[in-house]
Amino acid sequence: MNKLLTDYFYIFLHPFKIYDSYHSKEKIPLTFYEMMGISWIFKIIRTIYYFIGIHFLLLLVSRGLNEKALGEITHKKTFLYWVLVGVIFYPLILWFLSKFWIVIIRFFCVLYNKDGPTLKISTVCYCALTSQGLLVVPILGEILVPFAFFFFLFAGLKKSLGFTTLQAVLVLISPLFLFFLMIILSLAYLMLLLNMI
């Protein structure tokens, strides 16, 4: 476990240098299950922070004898259950996230004619999961995680797969294009249906 944490934080602290270590066989890339397991621990710690914060909020409200605010908080118990469900299904979310990016990066490797074997592409995506380590930072951690994830992906695309800066940026913003394309196609389909009526 100690070696896993050391490797995890080495990736976090040296996002570009880690790929040199992989190429020279100094280090062995962590598997998805290892990255997911450590990231899951950080998500659990973040959830504990959340529940401690809720506990203190309830304490402050009950001390102030504000019955209306206390009633509002206690009626939102379903939100707390959703937080727990999010923790339970967190590995599934990470699996989906990594598979989504593996497909996108593989497509761009073919498009840019880059030598990107599946193992290299998977390693880039799994290394980007170290961004989940920021979840242990109270309050700001949740905000910083997506930015860190894109930074680690960018580092892997440049250093491991040999993408140029422009190519790597295009890969990272490609889901936005997919999203807008889906919206445009949905609107076009809806307009076609309305014209048929």
Encode pLDDT of 19-72 as tens digits.
Answer: 888 888 888 888 899 999 999 999 999 989 888 887 777 777 666 656 665 566
Over range 168-174, report the average pLDDT. Answer: 91
Residue of 147, 137, 130, 131 lying closest to 45 (CA atoms): 137
User: Angle, to 10 degrees, between the axis of helix 90-111 and the axis of helix 32-63?
Assistant: 130
Over range 82-109, report the average pLDDT. Answer: 91
Q: Which of 1-10, 76-85, 108-117 has the lowest mean pLDDT?
A: 76-85
Question: What are the tens digits of pLDDT across the range 112-141?
Answer: 887 667 788 899 999 999 999 998 888 888
pLDDT category of residue 94 using cuts at 50, 70 and 90? very high
Q: How many CA atoms lie within 13 A of 52 on its CB side?
A: 8
Task: Please state, in angstroms and as integers, the Cα–Cα distance from residue 176 to each residue in 118, 161, 172, 173, following that order.
Answer: 24, 22, 9, 6
Over range 64-91, report the average pLDDT. Answer: 72
Over range 70-91, report the average pLDDT. Answer: 76
Over range 133-160, report the average pLDDT. Answer: 90
Over range 169-184, report the average pLDDT. Answer: 88
- Residue 191 class from Cβ within 10 Å (0-12 exposed, 13-18 middle, 19+ buried)? exposed
Task: Check residue 72 and give its pLDDT.
Answer: 62
Over range 138-156, report the average pLDDT. Answer: 91
Over range 86-115, report the average pLDDT. Answer: 90
pLDDT category of residue 193 using cuts at 50, 70 and 90? confident
pLDDT above 70 coverage of the chain, percent: 89
CB 131 within 8 A of CB 149: yes
Q: Per-domain residue ranges for the chain?
A: 2-196
